[in-house]
Amino acid sequence: MTANILGSDGLIVLIIAAVVLFGGSQLPKLAKNVGAAGHEFRKAQREAEADHMANEKLAAAAPVVAPVPQLVPDDKLVLSRSELKLELAKLMDEHNMPAAG
């Protein structure tokens, strides 16, 4: 992958620069650490994908609950029992329904 970005000449220059900066004895440790970091990155990526898939399955399985419409205004209209019966009787008359017992 690096060879594709830098080309073959750039890769050689990069290797020479690494040897000069880190020394020949430190390169195996550096390569090991880079490999371990890549492994941890791929592991974390797999775990994140698994979590994402699990969350999608839970979201798909969760029931959709419609919001309950607000029938009473915010100022909370309060009626006594007799007023409520009167209002109900008016509505029943308007819609030609028989009176409730």
pTM (2 d.p.): 0.42
CA distances from 58 to 39, 41, 45, 65, 66 (A): 29, 26, 20, 15, 18
Q: How far apart are CA 5 and CA 18, in angstroms?
A: 17
Total domains in the fold of the chain: 1
Is residue 90, in this structure, part of any structural domain at all?
Answer: no
Structural domain of 36: 2-61
CA distances from 80 to 76, 85, 86 (A): 13, 9, 10
19: DSSP letter: H
Predicted confidence (pLDDT) per residue in 81-91, tens digit: 898 888 888 88
Is residue 47, in this structure, part of any structural domain at all?
Answer: yes
> Would you call 65 helix, strand, or coil by DSSP?
coil
Q: How far apart are CA 87 and CA 93, in angstroms?
A: 10
Position 40 scores a pLDDT of 94
> For residue 44, what pLDDT band results from cuts at 50, 70 and 90?
very high
Token representation of residue 34: 């880079």
Is residue 82, in this structure, part of any structural domain at all?
Answer: no
- Per-residue pLDDT, averaged over 14-42, amounts to 85
Is residue 91, in this structure, part of any structural domain at all?
Answer: no
> For residue 46, what pLDDT band results from cuts at 50, 70 and 90?
very high
Is residue 13, in this structure, part of any structural domain at all?
Answer: yes
